[in-house]
Structure 1
Amino acid sequence: MSDALVIGLDIGGTSTRALVTSLAGDRVGTGTAGGGNPTSHGAVAAAAELAKALSAALGAIDPARVRAGTIGLAGVARLLADPPSRAAFDRAWADAGLTCPLNLIGDALVAYASGTASPDGSVLIAGTGAIAVTIRGFALDRVSDGHGWLLGDAGSGFWLGREAVRATLAAMDAGHPLGHLATAVVETLMPPGTTGTLAGGRADLGALSARDKVDLLVQRVTRRPPIELAQLAPLVIAAQAAGDRTATAILDEAARLLTESVARIREPGDASPIVLAGGLLVGDTPLAPAVERELAARWPDAKRPRASDGAAAAAWLAARPLLSPPEAAALHARLFP
């Protein structure tokens, strides 16, 4: 199988990325396209982006050389349970000339594999939402949270944004001077010149009473899609950097809640790795080191690698069954130096 190739794709709501690699770890083709998650964009549009990424990655490569392929995406269970959606993905795969089996897996497993070659461990993801998963033999074992903005996602970007607004409303109710975070929330949701329609009619922000300002802020939040609260998460991070105590407390609580999500499904003393994934934990945010401290206190012997290239992880997962364990470990080291 010296000329054998594998292909991996990491599909998200905003981008689709593909990688073709040899079993030795030589990257021979890459491709990118727009968001390809069928839950967000619909099966037809998602499959079209998949086709673009496949075409770019394969280029002049003979598709017959590709022996295995893996696609990682959020909401994979919904795709697998919907025959038309699965058929759209299968058509895009076949139209690209690929004859090898297509393996569809969840994004949590891809994130985990991008951080470690260990078959057993955990992954904690915190972005717009939040979820913790234990992995056994490179298969999902137990899951904690990921319940969505209404019922869970504790410590997520949505959660940070919601807590920022709640703290702002509490300060306004009490008549306290607004700190850095509360001021940023008000200025973002009700910038100067804002007008609102309340019980007494339409009025400029400056002319409103303290209570009317509270009511208008509530309106500004509740009349938008709830998930848009995640867009306020950067305000919490910026306020913490400026020394805002409320922002610091919110981030500390987020770290505690994320760690509790892991603790619900991970045994004390477990020394297997805990991969950190999602924008809030792999980016330059104060939440990442806070979570690492919490995790280190609970599982001091566990390594805490960061997730990285999802397309490479998907390609590695596709290659694993074709390789011996030492070969698979060597390939992982080559793809993730």
Structure 2
Amino acid sequence: MAMTEASGGPLALGLDIGGTSTRAVVIDRAGRRLGTGRADGANLTSHARDKALDAVSAAVSAALATVSPASVRAAVIASAGDNNLNRPEVASALASRWAAAGLTCPYEVVADAVAAFVAGTPSPDGTLVLSGTGSLAARFTDRRPAQIIDAHGWLLGDLGSGFFLGRSAVQVALAALDRHTRPGPLGLAVLQTLTGATDFDPASRQVVSDLVLAVHAKPPVALAALAPLVTAHAGVDPEADRLIAAAAATLLDQTSMVRTAGDATPIVLAGSLLTTDTPLARLVRSGLAATWPSAAVGVALDGAAGAAWLAARSLDAAGAERLHAALFG
């Protein structure tokens, strides 16, 4: 049965658009999640426009399946590559999709980092460190990014990200094959995953060609899917340890660029590589604790809910603190 405004007041919609997945959630003023949706990645930096907007439509439609779109009175769209959504041709196409979903409320576009930060702490000030498909470090003042390091996308940056780890893992395999040597455990896992090869002559150029073709047959951002191979080989292959250490060092260096040594404001970790118990997360946590021992470290597990909270706050600023506690504990 569809919810109506009369049954619980105006609703808020949050949308979190990433490179790997797109998530939507509708909440009421008590913080109850009344509808959720999930679809493929829709970051316009790494996905074609129509494919990305199809994913947005799918996630929003699923979230609205059990609520009345007319009851949604505010919305925030948090997106990696958020400036793409403000390009006139994209904004026009998105507005058409919005109306087709039955939504009549306006929406605000913010960076995905903003939604992640507010999902990880009730504090208005602090630091966000993110490593998922992409990566960044950011300093927040009054819940607005005052400084961001990286977040430049796979072609120009994301140096502590899942994409960085995945691409580097392929490079490890290629470097061994170029030397006519059999790759180590990580390189072998990359070859088997991408080409199915298990028994091969490392001096054969065909093996190299097959691997290169397999990589180029998919969108570049798909290399991020290889990051779990790297973390799974921590302690097994020195190459995996080297890559993870490099990613951790990059993230910690970037954090030091946006955060002074004596800063005691909270630190929020975001992205699957930092919010789960990965070797990268452990190294980053250890480095953060060594440099900022007085800072609380939280995790952002639901960027869509962070976006929804931002939207709901515009409807009821006085109840924002209570709503945050209801949504995130």
> With structure 1 as the length reference, what TM-score do the two structures score?
0.82
Q: What is aligned with 1:132?
A: 137
Mean Cα deviation higher: 20-29 or 287-296: 20-29
The answer to whether the 8 A contact 1:190-1:217 is kept is no
Aligned to 2:153: 148
CA, structure 1 residues 240+34, in 2 after alignment: closer, same or farther (shift >3 Å)?
closer
Q: Would the alpha carbon gap of residues 155 and 138 (structure 1) be closer, same or farther in structure 2, given more than 3 Å must change?
A: same
Q: Structure 1 residues 65 and 281, CA, compared in 2 at 3 Å: closer, same or farther? A: same
Cα deviation for residue 45 of structure 1 reads: 4.3
Stretch of structure 1 that moved more, 256-265 or 315-324: 315-324
Q: Distance in 2 between matches of 1:42 and 1:24?
A: 37
The one-character-per-residue Cα deviations of 1:206-260 (angstroms, maximum 9, x if unpaired) are 3x64xx55x953773387345454343222222215x333322332222111111
Aligned match for 2:111, one of 106, 111, 131 = 106
- Change in CA separation of 1:230 and 1:92 when aligned onto 2, cut-off 3 Å: closer
* Aligned counterparts, 1:107-122, within 5 A: 107-122=112-127
CA 1:223–1:174 in 2, change beyond 3 Å: closer, same or farther? closer
How far apart, CA to CA, are the structure 2 residues paired with 1:100 and 1:130? 31
Match of 2:31 in 1: 25
Tell me the secondary structure at the aligned position of residue 79 of structure 1.
helix
Match of 1:217 among 208, 213, 224: 208
1:297 partner amino acid? A
Output the amino acid matched with 2:268: V
Structure 1 residue runs of 5 or longer lacking an equivalent are 195-204
| Structure 2 counterpart of 1:7 | 13
Q: 1:135 to 1:114 in 2, by over 3 A?
A: same
Give me the whole-angstrom Cα distance separating, in 2, the residues matched to 1:133 and 1:261.
8
Structure 2 residue aligned with 1:329 = 321
For the pair 1:272 / 2:265, whether they are aligned, the reply is yes
Task: State the AA in 2 paired with 1:96.
Answer: A
Is 1:74 matched with 2:80?
A: yes
2:211 counterpart letter in structure 1:
R
Work out whether 1:16 is the aligned partner of 2:10: no
Residue 328 to residue 246, structure 1, CA distance change in 2 (3 Å): same
Q: CA RMSD in A?
A: 3.0
1:319 maps onto 2:312 in alignment: yes
Unmatched 5+ stretches in structure 2:
none
User: What SS does the aligned partner of 1:292 have?
Assistant: helix
State the 1:84 CA deviation: 1.7
- Asked if residue 230 in structure 1 is aligned to residue 224 in structure 2, the reply is yes
Contact 1:8 1:318 in 2 (8 A): yes
TM-score by structure 2 length?
A: 0.83
One-letter amino acid of the structure 2 residue matched with residue 24 of structure 1 = A
Aligned length: 320
Q: How does 1:115-264 map to 2 (within 5 A)?
A: 115-168=120-173, 179-188=184-193, 191-192=196-197, 205-206=200-201, 209=203, 212=204, 216-217=207-208, 220-221=211-212, 224-225=215-216, 226-241=220-235, 243-264=236-257
Q: Which has the larger radius of gyration?
A: 1
SS at match of 2:258: coil
The Cα of 1:120 is off from its aligned counterpart by: 1.1
Which amino acid in the other structure matches residue 269 of structure 2? Answer: L
The one-letter amino acid of 2:282's match is P
> 1:163 touches 1:250 (CA, 8 Å); kept in 2?
yes
1:200 aligns with none
Contact 2:41–2:52, Cα closer than 8 Å, also in 1:
yes
| Alpha-carbon distance in structure 1 between the residues aligned to 2:103 and 2:197 | 56
User: 1:37, 1:117 → 2: CA distance?
Assistant: 27
Separation in structure 1 between the aligned mates of residue 310 and residue 180 of structure 2, nearest angstrom: 56
131-140 or 49-58: which moved more?
Answer: 49-58
Question: CA–CA distance in 2 between the matches of 1:154 and 1:331?
Answer: 35
The alignment partner of 2:154 has SS state of coil
Change (3 A) 1:128 1:53: closer
Q: 2:302 aligns with which of 309, 326, 332?
A: 309
